[in-house]
C-alpha cells in the first residue's frame, strides 16, 4: 500500500484528478468529507461545537450553519484554537479508521486541501499537486461555484503559494485545458508511476527510474530537502541525523542520502520502516527508492 497526498488550490481541478484515480481503483479518503461527517447532526462533534460556540450555530433543521460557525470561530486566535481542538482529533481518528480499513494493495489517495499548510507532505509516499492559473481559477469559482469574485480572490490568496506547493510536490498536474486533458494527465500518472510504485513497495523492489518522469520533477532544486523530510518522518526518534551526501544533477542521477541511527537497536528497526515508506533494500547494504519518478539511495550508519 502507498499513501498519496492530493492537493491544490481552490478551482484548480483537484476533484477531476480524484475522480479519475477512483475510476482506476484508488481508495479515496476525502478530508473535506470527513470534516463534514464529524460535525453532522447528532454527532458528539456537533454537540461539542454547540457547547463551545452556542446553539445559534445551528440551522432550523439542527444541522451546522457553517457561515454562522465561521462568524464566531474565526474572530480571534483563541476561538480558532477552540474550533481546532474540537475538530482536529475527530478528523484524525476518522482518517485513521479509514486507513486501517484500506486493502493491503491499495493506492490510498488522500484528498487534502490544506496538505501544504498543515505540513503533512513528509508523511505521504508521494504528493501530487493540481495547479491552474489564478485568473482561470477565479473564473471557475465565480461561474461554477457562484462565489463573489472578491471572495474567490481572497480565498485563493489565503492558501499556500505556488512556490510552497512546488517545494513538496512529487508530481505537478497543470489544468489549463479541458476536463479530458487533465483526466489524461492523471491517467498517465496513475499508470506510469503510481501503480508501479505501489507494486514495488508491496514487493520490496527498487524502481527502475523513468527518465521522462524524473525530468518532470516540479522543483529539482528542493528534491534533497523533500527526501530528507520524508526520511525524518520515517525514522523519527531512531535517527540523530538525516543528510544529503550526493545531490542529483542529471535526468537519471540518484540523490544519495544518509541516516545516522541513534544506536544499533534503532538501526535494526529502520529496514522495515524504510521498506514500508518506499525505500526497500537494494541488495548492496543500502536502500533505494521504489518510486520510478524519484531515484534515491539511502545508507544507514550507527
| Digit-coded pLDDT (tens) for 223-245 | 899 999 999 999 999 999 999 99
**Grid coordinates representing 164?**
510552497
Q: How confident is the model at residue 248 (pLDDT cuts 50, 70, 90)?
A: low
CA dist 14 and 130 (Å) reads: 6
State the pLDDT at residue 285: 93
Q: Which of 161, 176, 203 is the last residue of a domain?
A: 203
pTM over 0.95: no
Taking each helix axis from N to C end, the angle separating 134-144 and 149-158, rounded to the nearest 10 degrees, works out to 130
Asked if residue 179 and residue 225 are part of one domain, the reply reads: no
Asked if residue 54 and residue 24 are part of one domain, the reply reads: yes
State the pLDDT at residue 59: 94
Asked if residue 180 and residue 269 are part of one domain, the reply reads: no
CA dist 4 and 29 (Å) reads: 10
Asked if residue 154 and residue 78 are part of one domain, the reply reads: yes
**Grid coordinates representing 32?**
473535506
The CATH code of the domain that includes 45 is: 3.40.50.300
Asked if residue 90 and residue 147 are part of one domain, the reply reads: yes
166-191 average pLDDT score: 94
Asked if residue 272 and residue 195 are part of one domain, the reply reads: no
Mean pLDDT of the chain: 93
Q: Please, what's the largest Cα pairwise distance for the chain?
A: 66
The CATH code of the domain that includes 247 is: 3.30.460.10
Asked if residue 136 and residue 251 are part of one domain, the reply reads: no
Asked if residue 198 and residue 95 are part of one domain, the reply reads: yes
Asked if residue 208 belongs to a domain, the reply is no
Alpha helices in the chain (DSSP H): 14-23, 31-37, 44-53, 66-73, 77-101, 134-144, 149-158, 162-168, 179-189, 195-203, 211-215, 223-235, 264-276
Count of domains forming the chain? 2
| Digit-coded pLDDT (tens) for 136-170 | 999 989 988 888 898 889 889 888 999 999 999 99
Asked if residue 31 and residue 161 are part of one domain, the reply reads: yes
Asked if residue 14 and residue 53 are part of one domain, the reply reads: yes
State the pLDDT at residue 215: 58
What proportion of the chain, given as a percentage, has pLDDT over 70? Answer: 97
The pairing of strands 255-261 and 287-288 is: unpaired
Q: Which of 171, 203, 235 is the last residue of a domain?
A: 203
Asked if residue 209 belongs to a domain, the reply is no
| Digit-coded pLDDT (tens) for 23-73 | 999 999 999 999 999 999 999 999 999 999 999 999 999 999 988 998 898
| Digit-coded pLDDT (tens) for 204-222 | 999 988 767 765 677 878 8
Given a cut of 70, whether residue 4 has pLDDT beyond it is yes
Q: Which of 203, 230, 258 is the last residue of a domain?
A: 203
State the pLDDT at residue 210: 79
Asked if residue 163 and residue 268 are part of one domain, the reply reads: no
**Which residue range is the domain that position 230 belongs to?**
214-301
CA dist 88 and 133 (Å) reads: 31
Amino acid at each position: 500500500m502507498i499513501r498519496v497526498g492530493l492537493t491544490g488550490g481552490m478551482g484548480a481541478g483537484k476533484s477531476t484528478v480524484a475522480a479519475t484515480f477512483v475510476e482506476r481503483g484508488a481508495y479515496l479518503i476525502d478530508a473535506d468529507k470527513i470534516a463534514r461527517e464529524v460535525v453532522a447532526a447528532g454527532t458528539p462533534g456537533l454537540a461539542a461545537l454547540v457547547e463551545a460556540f452556542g446553539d445559534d450555530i445551528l440551522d432550523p433543521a439542527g444541522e451546522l450553519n457553517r457561515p454562522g460557525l465561521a462568524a464566531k470561530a474565526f474572530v480571534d486566535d483563541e476561538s480558532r484554537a477552540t474550533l481546532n481542538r474540537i475538530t482536529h482529533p475527530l478528523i484524525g481518528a476518522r482518517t485513521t479508521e479509514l486507513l486501517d480499513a484500506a486493502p493491503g494493495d491499495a493506492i490510498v489517495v488522500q484528498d487534502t486541501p490544506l496538505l501544504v499548510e498543515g505540513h503533512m507532505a513528509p508523511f505521504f509516499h508521494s504528493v501530487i499537486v493540481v495547479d491552474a492559473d489564478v485568473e482561470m481559477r477565479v473564473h471557475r469559482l465565480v461561474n461554477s461555484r457562484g462565489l463573489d469574485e472578491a471572495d474567490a480572490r481572497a480565498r485563493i490568496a489565503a492558501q499556500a503559494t505556488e512556490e510552497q506547493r512546488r517545494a513538496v510536490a512529487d508530481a505537478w498536474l497543470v489544468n489549463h485545458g479541458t476536463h479530458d486533458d487533465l483526466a489524461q494527465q492523471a491517467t498517465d500518472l496513475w499508470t506510469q508511476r503510481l501503480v508501479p510504485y505501489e507494486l514495488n513497495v508491496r514487493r520490496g523492489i527498487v524502481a527502475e527510474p523513468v527518465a521522462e518522469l524524473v525530468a518532470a520533477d516540479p522543483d529539482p532544486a528542493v528534491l534533497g530537502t523533500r527526501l530528507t523530510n520524508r526520511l525524518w518522518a520515517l525514522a523519527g526518534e531512531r535517527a540523530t541525523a538525516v543528510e544529503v551526501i550526493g545531490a542529483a544533477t542529471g535526468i537519471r542521477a540518484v540523490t544519495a542520502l544518509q541516516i545516522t541511527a541513534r544506536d544499533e537497536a534503532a538501526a535494526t528497526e529502520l529496514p522495515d520502516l524504510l521498506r514500508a515508506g518506499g525505500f526497500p533494500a537494494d541488495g548492496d547494504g543500502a536502500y533505494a527508492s521504489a518510486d520510478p519518478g524519484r531515484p534515491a539511495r539511502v545508507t544507514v550508519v550507527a
